[in-house]
Amino acid sequence: MLNQRIQTFYDSSSGIWEQVWGEHMHHGFYELGEGAYKDRKQAQIDLIEELLNWSEVANLEFKGEILDVGCGIGGSSLYLAQKFPASQVTGITLSPVQANRAKARAEEFGLQSRTKFQVADALSMPFESDRFDLIWSLESGEHMPDKSKFLAECLRVLKPNGKLIFATWCHRETASKPLNINEKQHLQRIYDVYCLPFVISLSEYEAIARDLGFQDIRTVDWSKEVAPFWDRVIESAFSLKNILGVIQAGLPTIVATTSLRLMSRGYSRGLVKFGVLTAQKSS
Ligand SMILES: C[S@@+](CC[C@H](N)C(=O)[O-])C[C@H]1O[C@@H](n2cnc3c(N)ncnc32)[C@H](O)[C@@H]1O
């Protein structure tokens, strides 16, 4: 079953990911030119900041409840809790190992009273309707086997006027040119390595959000801005210390590491896209 595979994937790989690459399990944001060589961790923080700015949620006075859907080990959740001192942040993940690590990290930061981490399925969230002021979902949508149900659940648990900030792996737009067999095989290899059921295009996400009744929908394609991330990860993956860690972490992570090039090649051929969407629940 997909959820079980995702759980095993993250249970077994999150420790080594944190050790080698840090607490953020998402792309970095790079400016073009020289900016493509900036520190990888800084680039990951910059992606969070760029998302907040672009979605117009950068106001430090932001108060309310944030839900981080697919929270990993709480990289974004704790960053947001620190940035917005009047917020309360809940993170959900399929991986008990991640949820426990996120809780431990919250304690290290003294944020345990304002953060909560739990194992829960985004397609059937254990929350009442109309609860959250902000939903943050950074690179978990690609794991969802039912993209409409996922966005419908986000809409349900958002408060009226609440905001969704969503960034996810997509494939290129297909309206004028359907995916060919070679592209489909390339995507299938990415799905197999990263436990993804399938990805869709950004305009398909936009159509789903519109049909569900989200308001003020905006999208942007940041593929060029995030693509350098994979080259920086590949460089660091091949240092001796990291290779030893990867071997200790077991097969799923090894497979993912040797397959990092699938993503960088996916971006360079225009097949893989990094889609960003923000939208609001009506009042
Ligand atoms: C690539 S990690 C991203 C982690 C985090 N957002 C970050 O940027 O550091 C994907 C996350 O999505 C979660 N996930 C995947 N499918 C999910 C589902 N159906 N319900 C809840 N979480 C899910 C995984 O457990 C994992 O924490």
* pLDDT tens per residue, range 228-240: 988 887 777 666 5
Contact criterion met (CB below 8 Å) for 281 and 158: yes
pLDDT for res 105: 98
- How many whole angstroms from 139 Cα to the centroid of ligand 1? 7
pLDDT band (50, 70, 90) for residue 30: very high
Please work out, in degrees rounded to the nearest 5, the angle formed at the alpha carbon of residue 192 by the alpha carbons of 186 and 195: 130
Return the best residue to mutate from 94, 142, 166, 233 for the ligand 1 pocket (most ligand atoms within 8 A of CB): 94
Q: How many domains does the chain have?
A: 1
Domain CATH code at residue 30: 3.40.50.150
pLDDT tens-digit readout, 106-161:
999 999 999 999 999 999 999 999 999 999 999 999 999 999 999 999 999 999 99
Element housing 159 (H / E): strand 158-171
d(CA 167, CA 52): 11
Q: Which atom of ligand 1 is nearest to the CA of 140?
A: 12
Containing domain of residue 156, as a range? 2-280
pLDDT at residue 70, rounded to an integer = 98
Q: What is the mean pLDDT of residues 82-97?
A: 95
pLDDT in tens, 256-277: 556 778 998 999 999 999 999 9
Mean pLDDT over each residue of the chain, to the nearest integer: 91
Please name the residue ranges forming H helices in the chain: 2-21, 40-54, 75-83, 96-108, 147-157, 181-194, 202-212, 223-226, 228-237, 240-249, 251-258, 260-268
Above 70 in pLDDT, residue 101?
A: yes
Check if 25 has its Cβ closer than 6 Å to any atom of ligand 1. Answer: yes
Report the C-alpha gap between 29 and 262 in whole angstroms.
19
